[in-house]
């Protein structure tokens, strides 16, 4: 009983650290939050934090992983919903994920941090692998919906899979970058929630259109 209780307390402590960090992240940037501050706000010593995480960025990685898993659950739910057509599933996935990023600025920053080589190289390999695995599952869920769309005759089956995935994932990744407030040159373009919503709709329309369009080589004259 006792060792079990200990373990639960240890895990509760870890949750505390993560929750505290999340709270701090609503008010300031990751870079300005020191480990000492996290420890103090959690009400523990700095050394204790390092009993739970190997390095500062592992805390960040853990939070990101939590978010990824939450999103993945929703994506899988969409993929399993047979009331929807493939294209509707695709649209639902894209809109859900982009809106998630829009609503959760801290997550936006985490995601972009994760794309930095230096960050990926520093976090524990365990976190790196889990994060990559989860992203892989995003893609699988998406491709499943695409396949459904093809069998239903909506998605164009002639688009090479590489071209399609290269385009869609790039557009998606870029949209997250562009959704940042002041994250791009046209600062005034992405301030209000309405503007961001409009942007999400445009970009999703663009991606959907790319999936259902006729093959490009019949139209383009080089």
Which of 98, 57, 50 is closest to 74 using CA atoms? 98
Q: Which does 10 bind (CB under 5 to 8 A by kind): DNA, a copy of itself, none?
A: DNA
Q: Rounded CA gap, 68 and 139, in Å? A: 12
Question: Is position 20 an interface residue for DNA (rule: CB under 7 A)?
Answer: no
Other Cβ atoms less than 10 A from the Cβ of 139: the count is 12
Q: Contacts with a copy of itself in 4-43 (CB under 8 A)? A: 29-32
Radius of gyration of the chain (CA): 20
Q: CA 188, 194, 199, 200 torsion: positive or negative?
A: positive
Which of 134, 15, 14, 116 is closest to 64 using CA atoms? 134
Could you tell me how many residues of this chain bind DNA (CB under 7 A)?
Answer: 24
Q: Contacts with a copy of itself in 142-201 (CB under 8 A)? A: 154, 160, 162-164, 166-167, 169-175, 177-178, 180-187, 198-199
Q: Which of 8, 15, 51, 161 binds DNA (CB under 7 A)?
A: 51
DSSP element (H, E) containing 137 = helix 125-151
Site residues, a copy of itself (CB under 8 A): 29-32, 87-88, 91, 109, 112-113, 115-118, 120, 131-133, 135-136, 139, 154, 160, 162-164, 166-167, 169-175, 177-178, 180-187, 198-199, 202-203, 205-210, 212-214, 216, 219-222
């Amino acid at each position: 009983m006792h060792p079990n209780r200990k373990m639960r307390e240890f895990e509760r402590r870890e949750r505390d650290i993560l929750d505290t960090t999340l709270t701090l992240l609503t008010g300031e940037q990751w870079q300005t939050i020191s480990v000492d501050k996290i420890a103090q706000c959690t009400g523990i010593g700095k050394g204790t934090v390092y009993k739970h995480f190997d390095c500062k960025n592992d805390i960040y990685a853990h939070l990101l992983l939590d978010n990824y898993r939450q999103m993945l659950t929703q994506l899988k739910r969409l993929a399993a919903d047979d009331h929807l057509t493939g294209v509707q599933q695709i649209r639902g996935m894209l809109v859900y994920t982009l809106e998630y990023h829009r609503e959760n600025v801290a997550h936006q920053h985490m995601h972009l941090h994760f794309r930095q080589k230096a960050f990926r190289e520093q976090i524990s390999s365990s976190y790196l692998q889990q994060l990559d695995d989860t992203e892989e599952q995003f893609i699988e869920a998406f491709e499943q919906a695409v396949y459904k769309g093809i069998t239903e005759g909506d998605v164009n089956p002639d688009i090479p899979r590489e071209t399609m995935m290269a385009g869609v994932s790039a557009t998606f990744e870029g949209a997250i970058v562009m959704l940042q407030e002041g994250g791009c040159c046209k600062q005034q373009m992405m301030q209000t929630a309405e503007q961001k919503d409009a942007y999400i709709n445009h970009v999703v329309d663009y991606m959907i259109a790319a999936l259902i369009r006729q093959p490009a080589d019949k139209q383009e004259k080089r």
